């Protein structure tokens, strides 16, 4: 298996191939030639004149997920029930864990690497308000060059660790005009925009040991947990209302144009970001309960006359300012997660 950043090349039958990050790039050398490459399964193809890009299906086998899960189980005594994926600037949640034990992603077999500022690249085990947790201090994104089967790799590993609940967090731009910077939006539903163009983490052969071929997504975000979140918010006594709405994922890394933002708003999106949805799809596929929220870190530019520009630094700063509020919110929510064996 190729490590991240490595590539290999092969020539056969007049075709040259470069394999990197799960993609096969084929460059035609002469007509009517074919190349068969075996990379975690066989792929055969005959390309037209010019370049041919063929995305691989899942590059990981069930045994690969098991290898990673077994490595973690053998290196820690923690047995988490809840997994939390920390979005941009939200990695401070890990500081609230007691009896914490952390691993750099580079230590863990098969794990990708975080390359984005605000994503430390550590897996942290511990307890939060009495719940055994594992937290990703940094996630993976399409725009880093990762195929979706790599972006979502940790989710299936968590399932094999015994996790039954996934909490997803992200930094998002506010499309809903009622939202203000610093608001928290519970994710009620999502729009998988990359999925409209054939980018879905479940594409490829289905492994029934994880889930069914065609999983439902109409109940992706747990209703009971959203109700408990509203109760927790009232307990905190925050001035701003807890928001709830639809999150739309775009591929990134460029921020959206004015007309794109208007289009997404008309589709029904309240907040926009570049993550989360693939992880949720895979989590629901393998039977995990899912709860998610977005920290609104900026208001999306919707006016051509505006001189404002969205920056990643702005996103990280909003995360820092909201850190205490978020940590308290997540901590209270942990008490509301049902005991093992009652996943929805």
E strand or H helix that includes residue 333: helix 312-334
Please count the residues of the chain. Answer: 344
Which one of 142, 176, 298, 322 is the catalytic residue?
298
Which one of 78, 141, 190, 285 is the catalytic residue?
141
Prior bond of 63 cis (ω within 30°): no
E strand or H helix that includes residue 247: strand 243-249
Which one of 17, 142, 144, 229 is the catalytic residue?
144
Does the annotation count 17 as an active-site position?
Answer: no
Does the annotation count 274 as an active-site position?
Answer: yes
Which one of 16, 20, 143, 331 is the catalytic residue?
143
Cα 153 from Cα 234, distance rounded (Å): 35
Does the annotation count 119 as an active-site position?
Answer: yes
Q: Which one-letter DSSP state was computed for residue 93?
A: G
Which one of 65, 69, 83, 88 is the catalytic residue?
88
Assign residue 328 a region: left if phi > 0, alpha if psi is -120 to 50, beta otherwise?
alpha
317 CB-near residues (< 8 Å, 6+ apart) = 89
CA-based Rg of the chain, rounded to a whole angstrom? 21
Does the annotation count 190 as an active-site position?
Answer: no
List the structure tokens of 28: 């035609």
In the numeric block, the tokens 């506010």 are attached to: 174
Does the annotation count 141 as an active-site position?
Answer: yes
E strand or H helix that includes residue 160: helix 153-161
Which one of 110, 120, 312, 343 is the catalytic residue?
312
Does the annotation count 88 as an active-site position?
Answer: yes
Does the annotation count 171 as an active-site position?
Answer: yes
Which one of 119, 142, 221, 249 is the catalytic residue?
119
List the structure tokens of 12: 């056969």
In the numeric block, the tokens 């996630």 are attached to: 139
Does the annotation count 143 as an active-site position?
Answer: yes
The interaxial angle of helices 153-161 and 62-75, nearest 10 deg, is 60
Q: Which residues are annotated as catalytic?
A: 88, 119, 141, 143-144, 171, 274-275, 298, 312
């Amino acid at each position: 298996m190729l490590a991240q950043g490595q590539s290999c090349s092969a020539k056969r039958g007049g075709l040259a191939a470069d394999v990197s990050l799960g993609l096969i790039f084929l460059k035609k050398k002469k007509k009517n030639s074919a190349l068969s490459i075996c990379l975690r399964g066989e792929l055969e193809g005959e390309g037209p004149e010019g370049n041919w890009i063929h995305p691989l299906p899942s590059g990981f086998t069930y045994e690969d997920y098991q290898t990673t899960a077994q490595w973690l189980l053998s290196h820690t005594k923690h047995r988490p029930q809840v997994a939390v994926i920390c979005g941009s600037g939200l990695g401070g949640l890990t500081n609230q864990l007691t009896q914490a034990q952390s691993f750099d992603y580079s230590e863990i077999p098969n794990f990708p690497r975080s390359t984005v500022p605000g994503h430390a690249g550590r897996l942290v085990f511990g307890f939060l308000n009495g719940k055994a947790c594992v937290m990703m201090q940094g996630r993976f994104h399409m725009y880093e060059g990762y195929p979706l089967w790599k972006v979502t790799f940790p989710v299936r590993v968590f399932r094999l660790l015994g996790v039954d609940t996934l909490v997803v967090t992200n930094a998002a731009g506010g499309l809903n005009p009622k939202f203000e910077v610093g608001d928290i939006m519970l994710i009620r539903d999502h729009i998988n925009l990359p999925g409209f163009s054939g980018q879905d983490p479940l594409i490829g052969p289905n492994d029934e040991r994880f889930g069914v071929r065609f999983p439902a997504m109409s109940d992706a975000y747990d209703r009971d947990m959203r109700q408990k979140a509203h109760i927790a918010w009232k307990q905190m006594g925050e001035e701003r209302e807890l928001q709830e709405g639809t999150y739309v994922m775009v591929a990134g890394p460029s921020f959206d144009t004015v007309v794109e933002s208007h289009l997404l708003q008309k589709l029904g999106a309240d907040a926009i970001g570049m993550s989360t949805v693939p992880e949720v799809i895979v989590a629901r596929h393998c039977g995990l309960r899912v709860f998610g929220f977005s920290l609104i870190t900026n208001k999306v530019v919707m006016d051509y006359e505006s001189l404002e520009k969205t920056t990643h630094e702005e996103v990280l700063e909003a995360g820092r300012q909201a850190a205490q509020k978020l940590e308290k919110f997540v901590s209270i929510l942990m008490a509301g997660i049902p005991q093992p064996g009652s996943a929805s």
